[in-house]
Structure 1
Amino acid sequence: MRTRLAQKLHAALERRFPERRLFLRSDTETRFIRLHPSTQLAAWTGVTLVVGWTITATAILLMDSIGSGNFRAQAQRDQMIYEDRLNALSAERDLRAAEAAAAQQRFSTALAQISTMQSELLASEDRRREMETGLDVVQAALRRTMIERETARDAAAELKLAMADGGALPGGTDAASVEGTLDILSGALADTAEERDRIAEDAELAFEQANEMQLELRLMTERNDEIFRQLEEAMTVSVEPLGDMFRAAGMDPDAMIKKVRKGYSGIGGGALTPIQFSTMGAHAGHADQDAERANALLDKMDEINLYRIAASKAPFATPVKSSYRFTSGFGQRWGRLHAGADFAAPIGTPVYSTADGVVVSAGWASGYGRLVKIQHEFGIETRYAHLNKISVKVGQRVSRGERIGDMGNSGRSTGPHLHYEVRVGGTPVNPMTYIRAGKDVF
């Protein structure tokens, strides 16, 4: 049975691959090589496998090359868009800072003008009260003088009547003495009337000046309200993106600010001194309102300063500022966790600290190669691996944007790149969360 099956198989092979002979002739003899059907089948199968494998491998390489080219092109386009966005945001931030500085300057000038106007208004009010008091005294003196004048007129009439009748004057006074007394009284009355008119003119002028000062103060108050409104809008526009940045990174802004306020003792981090206005005069209530608004603005400025300090202590910056390719992100890769993000660039590309902190490790670390670890506030640690050169030492305090080493290919690495990690409480987190949160602010 087996022989018959073999014969049928051999017959089928002979129909597809008939026996062939390959003749080799020389000058003296001729030889041939017999190619059996099974040999031809084996050769045909081998050639087919080799050709198929070649076609498949070539297709895979072409597809990989095309995919890599598209990925690099897309990465370059994304990087260009990101850099343009960063430049635009930086320019907008500088413009906002200039506007805030100009508004603060106008605010300071307005406060100085308001203080001067208040002083002048208070002085005017004091002069007005003094003039009112003087007018009361003059009016009392005028009433007394008018009464005395009427009495003197009656006495003079009696004296003239007595002199006309030729009788003796009361008390034995002669006519010449009486005329002298009348002349003195008339002069005193004229001087009193002139003084009264002058005081009345001064009082009217004082009232006019007080009205002008009140008008100027009202206009100054309106300008001051406009300056306050612009400053309040600028502060709101400045504070909201900072809070959104912390929330986008999964951090509580209030907790961050509270921690920074509690632990910061240097210049620039404490609360600003509250503004106090004079409470004298009739405009004390408005001055208190201005003081409240000014102190609210100072609180906002203090909050922005604390946000700035907190942002400098969290890794919102990018570790590589030169051109790079983003080659691998955070997540599972080849069945294990890839605990960071990879930035590929030529060997020697500068690597920068992404936040203020203290270097806790700087040296060789097995698969990481040359590794730098930096401890930051809020329990955050950043790692910079596969470096070619380390430029910091353990215990050194570094600032955000400070160069800590050069990109390399040390450790278990398939090419020059930076492996960048962010760990919170020792647990790896996606570093792009912080970078994306800070891209609209820094």
Structure 2
Amino acid sequence: MIHRLVYRLHTTLERYLPEQRLFLKSDSETRFIRLRSSTQAIAIVVGSMALAWTILATAILLMDSISAGTTREQVARQQTLYEQRLNGLSVDRDLRAEEAASAQGRFNLALAQVSEMQARLLASEDRRRELETGIDVIQNTLRGTIAERDEAREQLASMTADNGTGRSDEEKLQDTEATVDFLSATLGSTAAQRDEMQSVAAKADKRVADISREKQDLEAQNDVIFGQLEEALTVSVEPLEKMFKQAGLKPDDLLASVRKGYSGKGGPLTPLSLSTKGLPPSADEKRANAILEGLDNMNLYKIAAFKTPFAMPVKDAVRLTSGFGVRSDPFNGSARRHEGQDFAGGYGTAIYATADGVVTHAGWSSGYGRLIKIQHSYGIETRYGHLSQIRVQVGQKVSRGERIGDMGNSGRSTGTHLHYEIRIGGSAINPMTFIKAATNVF
């Protein structure tokens, strides 16, 4: 059975690949090489496989080269967009801060005007009360004068009766006319004073109404100013608060820590208190104090942001290679935990500090090669490994964005790159958590 299958296979091959003879002729003799059908088939198969492998390997190399170039271009574009976004947000943040400062100045001026109007209103009220009291005093004086006059007349009549002398009708008429004249003059003077006081009171009422209307207009204007300030605070503070939350930091604890160690000029903003009598704050005072508290928090967030590693350690175009987590060791292939993020770039690429801090290590460290450690606030430490050159010293204070070294290939490394770590309380965390959290803020 097997012999028959072999025979049929040989017959089929003979049909498509007939036997060939290769003649080799020399001066003395002629030789030939017989190329059987099976030999030709094996040669064709081996040649086809070699050609296919060559095409496949060439395609893989071309795709890898194209992919590497595309990745570099994408990283460069992302870096450019990141910087443009950072610049735009910085300008917008400065404009918001200027608007907030201008609005706060207008608000303080408006509060001063309200206070002045309230003082004038109280003075008008006091004047009106004084006028009303004066009218009452004049009326009481007039009543007393009339009563004294009547009492004097009664005494005079009693004395006349005792003396036995009578008064004529003409004398009585003259006395009555004199009394009427006196009363008319007194009542006219009183009426004139009353009319004058009523005129003053009417003017005071009109002034009170005008001041009340101005106060209402000013309150409406203040409400618009408060709304603009509150909106500006929301736009400025919410992204910062979200950034810290995404990085795994608690904003309340962070603000308390920054406030505790605050050493800037002026200190935290002082709450407003317009009452001098210890009265509870008004609604406007509460809104103003809430805005002041928001401005204070925004200032503290800015201080904390520069002390926290939210920036990129490189500004040139780089490739993100090995990420944070378990990976295959490039030297022995075993599973091993990678406690940072690798950025591959050109030899000597500038490396920058990602936050304000103090250098605690600047030298060789076994597998890290040339290593820099920077201690930041809130128990955060950053590490920069495999450097070709170190540009800082131990104990040196560095600022965010300050150049500290150059990218290299020192230590346990397979190529030029930066090994970047972030540690909190000694434990390594994924650096991309901080970098991605600040994407839409800086």
TM interval, shorter chain, is: 0.7 to 0.9
- SS state of the match for residue 313, structure 2? coil
User: In the TM superposition, what is the alpha-carbon distance from 1:354 to its structure 2 partner?
Assistant: 1.3
User: In the TM superposition, what is the alpha-carbon distance from 1:88 to its structure 2 partner?
Assistant: 4.2
Return 305-314 or 245-254, whichever deviates more: 305-314
User: In the TM superposition, what is the alpha-carbon distance from 1:209 to its structure 2 partner?
Assistant: 1.4
State the number of aligned residues. Answer: 415
Distance 2:369 2:266 in 1: 39
Map of 1:229-378 to 2, 5 A cutoff?
229-262=227-260, 264-267=261-264, 270-278=267-275, 288-334=282-328, 335-378=335-378
Cα–Cα, structure 1 residues 192 and 52, in superposed 2: closer, same or farther, change >3 Å? closer
Map of 1:372-411 to 2, 5 A cutoff?
372-411=372-411
1:358-416 CA-partner distances (Å, limit 9, x unpaired): 11111223333332111112221111223333332211222222332333444444544
- SS state of the match for residue 209, structure 2? helix
1:274-305 CA-partner distances (Å, limit 9, x unpaired): 21112569xx67x6332222222222222222
Distance 2:117 2:176 in 1: 57
Cα–Cα, structure 1 residues 33 and 310, in superposed 2: closer, same or farther, change >3 Å? farther
Cα–Cα, structure 1 residues 215 and 135, in superposed 2: closer, same or farther, change >3 Å? farther
What TM-score, normalized by structure 2, do the two folds share? 0.77
> Structure 1: where are the runs of 5+ without partners?
1-7, 170-174
User: What's the counterpart of residue 93 of structure 1?
Assistant: 93
Distance 1:37 1:386 in 2: 60
Cα–Cα, structure 1 residues 428 and 187, in superposed 2: closer, same or farther, change >3 Å? same
> Structure 2: where are the runs of 5+ without partners?
1-6, 12-16, 161-165, 329-334
Distance 1:396 1:277 in 2: 48
User: What's the counterpart of residue 163 of structure 2?
Assistant: none
CA contact 1:269–1:306 (8 Å) conserved in 2: no
Amino acid at match of 1:295: N
CA contact 1:22–1:34 (8 Å) conserved in 2: yes
Distance 1:272 1:363 in 2: 44
User: What's the counterpart of residue 3 of structure 1?
Assistant: none
User: In the TM superposition, what is the alpha-carbon distance from 1:424 to its structure 2 partner?
Assistant: 1.9
Cα–Cα, structure 1 residues 408 and 217, in superposed 2: closer, same or farther, change >3 Å? same
1:26-70 CA-partner distances (Å, limit 9, x unpaired): xxx6588987989x99x9699788666644543332232233233
Amino acid at match of 2:275: S
Amino acid at match of 2:268: A
CA contact 1:359–1:372 (8 Å) conserved in 2: yes
Structure 2 residue 211 is matched with structure 1 residue 213 = yes
Distance 2:308 2:300 in 1: 13
- SS state of the match for residue 222, structure 2? helix
Distance 1:142 1:324 in 2: 101
- SS state of the match for residue 249, structure 2? coil
